[in-house]
């Protein structure tokens, strides 16, 4: 039994918990999900999710609760992490916003809300490196990745990177938990996007 931590200071927690359970099942594993709102639990997790929400709020609460250092140590230990949307912004090297204290888990810079008002939310069938068929990606006030250092780009929209991997950390600008397709969670946590 694996322990999956979902950072739950703010954002979509239940959907990620369900997606990680489905991905585990497709790989013959089972997971116990821990919702993380305070320090002390992250070190006991085998895999970790940092969901979307509001990056400025998530960043502030991680610091206030002293979870930020635990997340850094988790990633540095090489354990698998998936960070989505606001989670990606907080995990980046440069959020281009003083209110966000970046965790610097991914060597990328991001532009918050870069898709602008008109395209506030949209869905795209996305070709993702490592997945055989396109992934139904839901974008909600999503960032784009506007600088890529040591990370590998996994997907792009209109030539702009929207998914990256750096070693054990996968980041997406979209919300992979909002459809019942759990291949992205499979890719991040179980090494491939098999859906069973
Ligand atoms: N726009 C949000 C931010 O900048 C992210 C949106 C999301 O996570 N869906 O933090």
Pairing of the two strands 169-172 and 81-84:
parallel
Q: Which residues contact 158 (CB under 8 A, 6 or more apart)?
A: none
| Domains held by the chain: number | 1
User: Which residue has tokens 């098999």?
Assistant: 194
Using pLDDT thresholds of 50, 70 and 90, give the confidence band for residue 168.
Answer: very high
Q: Which atom of ligand 1 is nearest to the CA of 100?
A: 10
What is the mean predicted confidence (pLDDT) over 120-145?
Answer: 95
The active-site residue, picked from 15, 27, 177, 185, is 177
Q: What pLDDT shows up at residue 115?
A: 82
177 classed as catalytic:
yes
CATH number at residue 168: 3.40.50.880
Task: Determine how many CB atoms are found less than 10 A away from the CB of residue 44.
Answer: 9
Please name the residue ranges forming H helices in the chain: 14-26, 55-64, 68-76, 86-91, 183-190
Partners of 37 in beta bridges: none
Separation of CA 88 and ligand 1 centre (Å): 9
Q: Is 173 a pocket residue for ligand 1 (Cβ < 6 Å)?
A: no
Q: What is the DSSP letter of 44?
A: G
- What does pTM read for this prediction? 0.96
Mean pLDDT (whole number) for 147-172? 97
Single out the residue of 62, 84, 73, 63 nearest to residue 8, CA to CA.
62
The Cα 141–Cα 159 span in angstroms is 18
Q: Which domain holds residue 63?
A: 2-195
Cβ–ligand 1 contact at 176 (below 6 Å):
no
- Model confidence at 195: pLDDT above 80: no
Active site residue 85: yes
Looking at residues 47-76, what average pLDDT do you find?
97
Ligand 1 probe mutation, 85, 99, 114, 145, most atoms within 8 A of CB: 85
Distance (Å, whole) CA 6 – CA 163: 19
Q: pLDDT value at position 193?
A: 73
Q: Are 71 and 58 within 8 A, CB to CB?
A: no
Average pLDDT over residues 108-121: 83
Spacing, Cα 196 to ligand 1 middle (Å): 31
Instruction: Pick the atom of ligand 1 nearest to 11's CA.
Output: 8
Q: What is the pLDDT of residues 6-24, one digit of tens each?
A: 999 987 799 999 999 999 9
User: What is the average per-residue pLDDT within 87-93?
Assistant: 98
Cα of first residue to Cα of last residue in the chain, in angstroms, is 18
**118 pLDDT tier (thresholds 50, 70, 90):** low
CA distance 109 to 124: 22
Ligand 1 touching residue 179 (CB < 6 A): no
Rounded CA separation 194/53 (Å): 27
Q: In DSSP terms, which residues pair with 147 in a beta bridge?
A: 109
Sheet holding 152-157, edge to edge: 31-36, 2-7, 47-50, 81-84, 169-172, 160-166, 152-157
Q: Is 57 in the pocket of ligand 1 (CB under 6 A)?
A: no
Query: What's the pLDDT at 119?
Result: 65
Atom 1 (ligand 1): residue with closest C-alpha?
A: 141
In degrees, rounded to 5, the angle at the alpha carbon of residue 79 between the alpha carbons of residues 52 and 34 is: 55
Q: Which atom of ligand 1 is found nearest the CA of 86?
A: 8
Whether 175 sits among the annotated catalytic residues: the reply is yes
């Amino acid at each position: 039994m694996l322990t999956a931590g979902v950072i739950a200071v703010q954002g979509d927690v239940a959907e990620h918990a369900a997606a990680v359970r489905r991905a585990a099942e497709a790989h013959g594993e089972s997971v116990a999900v821990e919702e993380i709102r305070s320090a002390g639990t992250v070190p006991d997790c085998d895999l970790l999710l940092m969901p979307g929400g509001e990056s400025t709020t998530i960043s502030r609460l991680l610091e206030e609760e002293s979870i930020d250092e635990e997340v850094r140590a988790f990633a540095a230990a090489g354990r698998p992490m998936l960070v989505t949307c606001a989670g990606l912004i907080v995990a980046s090297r440069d959020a281009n916003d003083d209110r966000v204290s970046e965790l610097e888990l991914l060597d990328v810079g991001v532009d918050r809300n870069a898709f602008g008002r008109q395209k506030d939310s949209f869905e795209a069938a996305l070709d993702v490196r490592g997945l055989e068929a396109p992934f139904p990606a839901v974008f909600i006030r999503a960032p784009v990745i506007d600088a890529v250092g040591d990370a590998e780009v996994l997907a792009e929209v209109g030539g702009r990177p929207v998914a990256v991997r750096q070693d054990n950390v996968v980041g997406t600008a979209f919300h992979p938990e909002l459809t019942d397709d759990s291949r992205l969670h499979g890719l991040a946590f179980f090494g491939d996007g098999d859906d069973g």
